[in-house]
Amino acid sequence: MFQLSMPFNFPKPFPFSCFSLRKKSVNPFPLNTCSGFCCTPKEMVGLSAGEKHFIQGGIAQDLRLDGRKRLTYRPIYVETGIIPQAHGSARVRLGATDVIASVKAELGKPSALQPDKGKIAIYVDCSPTAAPMFEGRGGEELSTELSVALERCLLGGKSGAGAGIDPTSLVVVEGKVCWDLYIDGLVISSDGNLLDALAAAIKAALSNTGIPKVDVAAEATGDEQPEVNISDEEFLQFDTTGIPVIVTLTKVGKHYIVDATSEEESQMSSAVSISVNRKGHVCGLTKRGGAGLDPSIILDMISVAKHVSEQLINKLDSEIAAAEASEE
Amino acid sequence: MRGLQLPLSQTQRIRLQRAFEKLQSLSSKVNSDASVTVADTIPVNYEDAFLKGHGTTDLNGELVATVCGVVERINKLVYVRGLRARYKPEVGDIIVGRVVEVAQKRWRLEINFTQDAILMLSSMNMPDGIQRRRTALDELNMRGIFEENDVVCAEVRNFQHDGSLQLQARSQKYGKLEKGQLLRIDPYLVKKSKLHFHHLEQFGIDLILGRNGFIWVGEHVETRDSMVVDQANSSQQSMVLEEKDQTHIPLEMRQNICRIANAVRVLSTLGFSIDADLIMETVELSSSLKIDIHDMLGSEFHVLVAEREAERRSLMGKRRR
């Protein structure tokens, strides 16, 4: 189900296309606006003109379809430790959006350019159960977009600077042995705002991760690989307070909303996903959608995202703590 | 207990469980409502004559379920209702559907059935209300009446020989639905009743409970009498409609629409049958407790609604005795 062995040097950046390449045979229902992600609402259901008007009016009047304000998230439900074979896993439900993240660690050799850093790879898969258009290769474009956006937001630059997860904590023997982290995400059900849900799931999965303690058995000289003993008993936990969350702001008309459902996403003109950490620093930025944005709007969106992220980080941390407590 | 997708705290979980147990004990069909999976034996008194319905089969002299669902008994008929079953139409049902295709002289609607339903152009009232034969020009103007993705309310007229459904929208109360939201719930939650169109006067909102599980909550639209054609009024009305398109629904009406929609969502999550009285009670409960519209979808309100329903049914049971 999860693709575990991914080469770290994933080709990036992925060229963002604002017009989606929808296969006509798969999607018989015409959609009037293009959503930034090439894949569309969960049941490919179109909306009538009256319903669209209702949604846009609601957003303009600060009262969305389910009574939320523009900057309110849906209730987040976190479960951790759901995949016992993985080193860490979590499932996050955001309304009808349901995603699972798992973390697997394997011993590997660090790259020659960065001998003191471990390697992390993020890969997202859209399950065909989420929507009929994900069947076969339909979900591939969306999967790659999500994977790249998450890597950009969580892993920082090419040199590893500014990463949410510190890769230097993954090294065992400098230059010889390091941990390779493979983070896999699976979208089970899609009702909008996949990026936020995946980032929350990854954060929860990393909180749940226990990397086995490694004892270096023998000192090795030159190019020899040292022998290592992987302990079954002791585990090291990650410090996940530094991991950023992603806040996606969807612009509909003149206003932005947070945590859009798939119906609201079908009405958007553009969306900006901003990854913010606990200190309020911006760790990554992704813009989707065909409409152009004035730079002042982007700056405004960043400040709104900072404001929203404070509550979101606190809420997420408390939910993760509750999930870990109930798991025990 | 059903697996509710809600973050419930420990006390909330206990309260909810207690409410469901109370409801189960009050239910008249206490032993008969068993959930079964495939190849489970259905508890039936074999001496009584009974009819084997959908979802059952005779295996080695025993009645065995072929789908996962709940056993339902109606008189002598025993059948298994699947959990994710599609809508089972009956003639005369009022349904809400979405136009999927505009074909020759007919519209195709999606109504959560195994096939798309057909609404013939001749089964639809003309905009001017006059009864006449449909011409080729009417056929070309079909998109002016209903387009793709429009939400339409209609009635089941009959079944075709190939199993597909034919609809009609002859009366003025049927037709295109605008200015509101459409909710999708399980079809078995909407029971057949005398009234499916509810005009909630104190809110000025139309509530249409489609038997296929599509619920429409929207602003009230005056149904005009087609026989009275007033030329001056009709031109004024068309101008007013155009202006209305530009403006939005007033905030208070929008709040009421959202409150009612959330009440429907809560009741469908808890698995209670939807009818207008229950929806109104839930809305009154939420406004009397001053619960925010969005908090109606939180776990606390779900538990309150379940407890309230358990109390209401126990009171009704006591009154009967």
What is the full DSSP assignment across B20-89? HHHHHHH-S-TTT--EE-TTPBP---TTS--EE-TTEEEETTEEEESSSEEEEEETTEEEEEETTPPP--
| The two structure tokens encoding residue A284 | 């990554």
C-alpha distances in Å from residue A183, one per residue of A5, A11, A158, A208, A317: 10, 17, 18, 13, 19
Interface contact flag, A319 B7, Cβ < 8 Å: yes
In this model, does residue A27 exceed pLDDT 80? no
| The two structure tokens encoding residue B72 | 């339902």
- Residue A18 is predicted with a pLDDT of 37
- Residue A272 is predicted with a pLDDT of 93
Please check whether residue B177 touches A, CB under 8 A: yes
Rounded CA gap, B276 and A202, in Å?
A: 43
Averaged pLDDT of chain A: 80
Closest residue to A60, CB basis, from B7, B248, B259: B248
**Which DSSP letter does residue B146 get?**
-
Q: Where are the domains of chain A?
A: 3-327
Q: With bands split at pLDDT 50, 70 and 90, how would you rate the model's confidence at A12?
A: very low
Rounded CA gap, A233 and A245, in Å?
A: 31
Rounded CA gap, A141 and A92, in Å?
A: 22
Closest residue to A54, CB basis, from B180, B296, B299: B180
More confident residue, A10 or A243: A243
- Residue B29 is predicted with a pLDDT of 56
Give the mean pLDDT of B203-223. 89
Please check whether residue B93 touches A, CB under 8 A: no
Paired sense of beta strands A177-189 and A119-126, if any: parallel
Residues of A with CB under 8 A from a CB of B: 29-30, 45-51, 53-54, 57-58, 60-61, 63-69, 72, 74-77, 93, 319
Please check whether residue B294 touches A, CB under 8 A: yes
> DSSP readout, A165-218?
S-GGGGEEETTTEEEEEEEEEEEEE-SS-HHHHHHHHHHHHHHH-EEEEEEE-S
Closest residue to B251, CB basis, from A54, A63, A68: A63
In this model, does residue B134 exceed pLDDT 60? yes
Q: Are A228 and A172 in contact (CB under 8 A)?
A: yes
Most confident of A52-61, A280-289, B20-29, B75-84: A52-61
Q: With bands split at pLDDT 50, 70 and 90, how would you rate the model's confidence at A224?
A: low
Please check whether residue B179 touches A, CB under 8 A: yes
Rounded CA gap, B63 and B77, in Å?
A: 13
Give the mean pLDDT of B5-33. 76
Rounded CA gap, B125 and A208, in Å?
A: 62
In this model, does residue A31 exceed pLDDT 80? no
Q: With bands split at pLDDT 50, 70 and 90, how would you rate the model's confidence at B321?
A: low
Handedness of CA B276, B278, B284, B289 (dihedral sign): negative
Closest of B185, B188, B167 to residue B94, by C-alpha: B167
Closest residue to B150, CB basis, from A48, A72, A76: A48
Interface contact flag, A29 B98, Cβ < 8 Å: no
Interface contact flag, B297 A66, Cβ < 8 Å: yes
> DSSP readout, B197-266?
EEEETTTTEEEEE-TTSEEEEEE--PPPPTT---HHHHHHHHHHHHHHHHSPPPHHHHHHHHHHHHHHHH
Q: Is the peptide bond before A13 cis (omega within 30 degrees of 0)?
A: yes
ipTM (interface predicted TM): 0.84
Interface contact flag, B249 A57, Cβ < 8 Å: yes
Q: With bands split at pLDDT 50, 70 and 90, how would you rate the model's confidence at B109?
A: very high
In this model, does residue A132 exceed pLDDT 80? no
**Residues contacting B112, CB < 8 A, separation 6+:** B86, B87, B184, B187, B212, B213, B214
Superfamily for domain range A3-327: GHMP Kinase, N-terminal domain (3.30.230.70)
Per the document, the length of chain B is 321
pLDDT tens per residue across span A247-263 = 999 999 889 899 999 89
The gap from C-alpha A306 to its chain's centroid, in whole angstroms, comes to: 17
Give the mean pLDDT of B170-182. 84
- What's the predicted TM-score (pTM) here? 0.82
In this model, does residue A14 exceed pLDDT 90? no
Q: What is the CA radius of gyration of chain B?
A: 23
pLDDT tens per residue across span A198-215 = 999 999 999 888 888 887
Residue type, B66: T
- Residue B135 is predicted with a pLDDT of 85
Rounded CA gap, B78 and B244, in Å?
A: 52
Q: With bands split at pLDDT 50, 70 and 90, how would you rate the model's confidence at A71?
A: very high
Classify burial at B316, counting beta carbons within 10 Å of its beta carbon; exposed 0-12, middle 13-18, buried 19 or more.
exposed
CA angle B268, A98, A82 (to 5 degrees): 110
Please check whether residue B12 touches A, CB under 8 A: no
Optimal mutation site among A27, A29, A54, interface B, most CBs of chain B within 10 A: A54
> DSSP readout, B167-206?
EEE-STTSEEE-SEEEEE--GGGS---S--EEEETTTTEE
Q: Can you state the percent helix, strand and coil of chain A, rounding each to 5?
A: 25, 30, 45
Rounded CA gap, A35 and A264, in Å?
A: 10
**Which DSSP letter does residue A266 get?**
T
**Chain pair A-B, CB pairs under 8 angstroms:** 91
In this model, does residue A311 exceed pLDDT 80? yes
Averaged pLDDT of chain B: 83
C-alpha distances in Å from residue A194, one per residue of A125, A130, A198, A201, B161: 12, 11, 6, 10, 44
Interface contact flag, A49 B148, Cβ < 8 Å: no
Closest residue to A50, CB basis, from B178, B265, B294: B178
CA distance B70 to chain A (A): 24
Give the residue on B whose Cα is nearest the Cα of A69.
Answer: B294
Give the residue on A whose Cα is nearest the Cα of B99.
Answer: A48
